[in-house]
Amino acid sequence: MAEVVLFHHSQGLTPGVLAFADALRVAGHTVHTPDLYEGRTFATLQEAMAYVEEIGFGTFVERGVRMAGGFPPDVVYAGISLGVLPAQKLAQTQAQARGALLVDACIPVEEFGEGKGWPAAVPVRIHAKEADPLVAEDLDAARALVAGAADAELHLYPGDQHLFLDSSLPSYDPEAAALVTARAIEFLASC
């Protein structure tokens, strides 16, 4: 079974993020959920993004990288929305990374790859809503990553909800979330 470091989205380490982690644990995986906000959560995406802009995106990413240093290096890095930033950076730059699970976001590979492309030994799965306006730009990056990676898949789901995986938010889509969870469990079993 895989060991996973799961980074939360911009609204924080919500009960819905923890529920997703628990579903992966029930399937036999070890899941770490570092809290990059030190206990803070935000009721709305707007409040959350105001906080992230205040601390800086770079600070958010570096907190994730720093916290990941406390875990074994041969893990699967997972992130939801904003949490994709540290997850993708680590998956691309840590030599022993076992995989990447990216939900609701994907950053151009060049951002972290220093021109090297996606690492051949790191499988990646990307999940997003096909009409999510917050993911529209990311879909080009996701398609490019999939086209250039040895083991990569992009899974698109009907709808436009962002943070659809989080059962504690109004944007939750139980049907799509169940499918993401099943696919994530299957992916992690292969890592």
Segment 91-120, tens digit of pLDDT: 999 989 999 999 999 999 999 866 678 999
Count of the separate structural domains present in the chain? 1
- Measured distance CA(86)–CA(65) in Å, rounded: 6
DSSP 42: -
Structure tokens at 48: 């959350």
Confidence of residue 63 (pLDDT cuts 50, 70, 90): very high
Mean pLDDT of 134-148: 94
- Residue range 146-174: average pLDDT? 97
Residue 136 φ/ψ, nearest 5 degrees: -50, -50
Give per-residue burial for 19-43: e unless 16+ CB within 10 Å, then b.
bbbebbeebebebbbbebbeeebbe
Bridge partners, 99 (sequence order): 76
CATH value at residue 19: 3.40.50.1820
What pLDDT is attached to residue 117? 85
In which band, very low, low, confident or very high, does the pLDDT at 151 lie, cut at 50, 70 and 90?
very high
pLDDT mean over 164-175:
98
Partnered with residue 85 across adjacent β-strands are none
- Which pLDDT score, from 0 to 100, does residue 116 have? 79
Domain that includes residue 159, residue range: 3-190
pLDDT-derived band of residue 44, with 50, 70 and 90 as boundaries?
very high
Structure-token match 């220093």, residue found = 114
Tokens of 6: 């799961």
